[in-house]
């Protein structure tokens, strides 16, 4: 790793090429910028990173030295990574999900979650300072991810790390928690006393949704596998239905104000829609935008996805009187701060089942893909 002591980052430095409006409705992280003031500690100009030069299996991942660290834009923060987590999006992108957008931009750096220390800040950053421990997550369409010694995130994608937990524990939280936050708080706007159904409460997003709904004093019911029943109940769910042993539609009673479907598919969609009150919100993580764009190309796939979403929204408003959404993670500084507060209060966590070194990234992806590890997997930086 090469360092340059207290240098001034000059205008016109090479940044990450910005991608135009992407599948999820916002720009990919990156773009040229500058940091017109000296950093207050050593800044890496090159470092290690896990690169994805082609789509494929875990063997496609390459740990490379001397990967350039671009100059910062004014609202960006350079984070020395201590731990990052593996999300399902990482393994799907590695296999080619989103290739209609990402293939022309190869090689990519995967990773969304991060916990680490601030190494440098852009000129307009006010909420964070060099040396602070932080955690956060990049948007799903970022092309320069967090599997790297020095990651770049915008100020609103980070906040101070909860002091009561380790970097490994912190890195498992942001992406899943903000995905759940966007669905329940930004979209459904859940409030005290409402009933919330989480389909798939055993996964990270589902488990985060249970805790967020409970924190908002909602009544929560979830479906999950047998191994997650006790954990869901301990997190505050009033009922946890083992979908492998029970008929969900018979086991669950009453209607709900919001349904978050983390599984997706025609059957869970049908069940979720039928459990909603009039005026309720159905939200699924399995939107069709990326898959249709991959299948038919951006020019055809994106308009087709928009038409499909609008058709379903109109259909369900007319037939059931409910609102239908495809939900994705977005940066939300208010949400991230609230998640930190809940974590510090002992009311929010995402269990970490296995920790690998960053040098074992292939083994970690392989274990996750083969479902050898049911829960969250974290990569630790030595």
The DSSP code for 156 is G
Q: Which two tokens stand for residue 146?
A: 């967090």
Q: Which two tokens stand for residue 59?
A: 């063997």
Judge whether 224 and 239 are in contact, CB under 8 Å. no
SS3 state at 227: helix
CA distance 305 to 227: 35
DSSP 103-155: GGG-SEE---EEEEEEEEE-TT--S--TT-EEEEE--TT-SB-SSBSEEEEEG
User: Which residues are registered as beta bridge partners of 240?
Assistant: 222
Neighbours of 341 (CB within 10 A): 14
Judge whether 158 and 139 are in contact, CB under 8 Å. no
In whole angstroms, what separates CA 165 from the centre of its chain?
Answer: 19
pTM recorded for the entire structure:
0.86
Handedness of CA 49, 88, 206, 376 (dihedral sign): negative
For residue 34, CA distances in Å to 31, 73, 152 come to 10, 5, 13
pLDDT at 296: 66
pLDDT along the chain (382 residues), means of 10: 34 30 41 37 77 96 93 94 96 91 92 96 94 95 93 96 96 97 95 97 96 97 94 96 93 96 92 96 86 76 81 88 91 93 95 96 93 88 89
CA distance 221 to 241: 8
Q: State in Å, rounded, how far the first CA of the chain is from the last one.
A: 13
pLDDT at 382: 82
């Amino acid at each position: 790793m090469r360092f340059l002591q207290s240098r001034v980052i000059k205008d016109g430095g090479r940044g990450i090429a910005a991608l135009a409006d992407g599948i999820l409705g916002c720009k990919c992280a990156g773009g040229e910028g500058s940091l017109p003031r000296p950093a207050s500690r050593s800044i890496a100009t090159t470092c290690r990173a896990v690169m994805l030069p082609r789509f494929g299996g875990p063997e496609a991942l390459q740990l490379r030295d001397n990967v350039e660290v671009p100059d910062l834009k004014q609202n960006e923060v350079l984070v020395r990574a201590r731990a990052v987590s593996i999300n399902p999006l990482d393994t799907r992108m590695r296999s080619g999900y989103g290739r209609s957008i990402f293939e022309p931009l190869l090689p990519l750096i995967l990773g969304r979650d991060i916990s680490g220390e601030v190494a440098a800040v852009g000129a307009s950053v006010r909420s964070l300072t060099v040396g602070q421990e932080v955690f956060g997550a990049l948007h799903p369409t970022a092309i320069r991810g967090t599997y790297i010694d020095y990651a770049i995130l915008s100020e609103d994608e980070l906040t101070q790390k909860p002091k009561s937990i380790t970097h490994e524990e912190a890195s498992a939280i942001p992406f899943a928690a903000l995905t759940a936050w966007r669905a329940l708080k930004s979209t459904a706007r859940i409030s005290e006393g409402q009933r919330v159904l989480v389909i798939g409460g055993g996964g990270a997003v589902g488990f985060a949704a249970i805790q967020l709904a409970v924190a908002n004093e909602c009544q929560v019911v979830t479906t999950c596998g047998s191994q997650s029943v006790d954990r869901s109940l301990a997190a505050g769910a009033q009922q946890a239905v083992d979908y492998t042993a029970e008929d969900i539609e018979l086991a669950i009673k009453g209607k709900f104000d919001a349904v978050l479907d983390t599984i997706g598919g025609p059957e869970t969609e049908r069940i979720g829609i039928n459990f909603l009150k009039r005026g309720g919100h159905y939200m699924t993580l399995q939107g069709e935008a990326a898959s249709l764009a991959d299948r038919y190309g951006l020019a055809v796939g994106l308009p087709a996805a928009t038409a499909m979403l609008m058709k379903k929204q109109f259909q369900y408003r007319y037939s059931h009187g409910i609102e239908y959404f495809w939900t994705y993670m977005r940066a939300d500084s208010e949400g991230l701060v609230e998640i930190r507060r809940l974590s510090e209060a002992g009311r929010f966590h995402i269990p970490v089942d296995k920790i690998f070194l960053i040098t074992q990234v292939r083994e970690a992806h392989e274990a996750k893909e083969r479902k050898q590890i049911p829960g969250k997997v974290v990569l630790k930086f030595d």
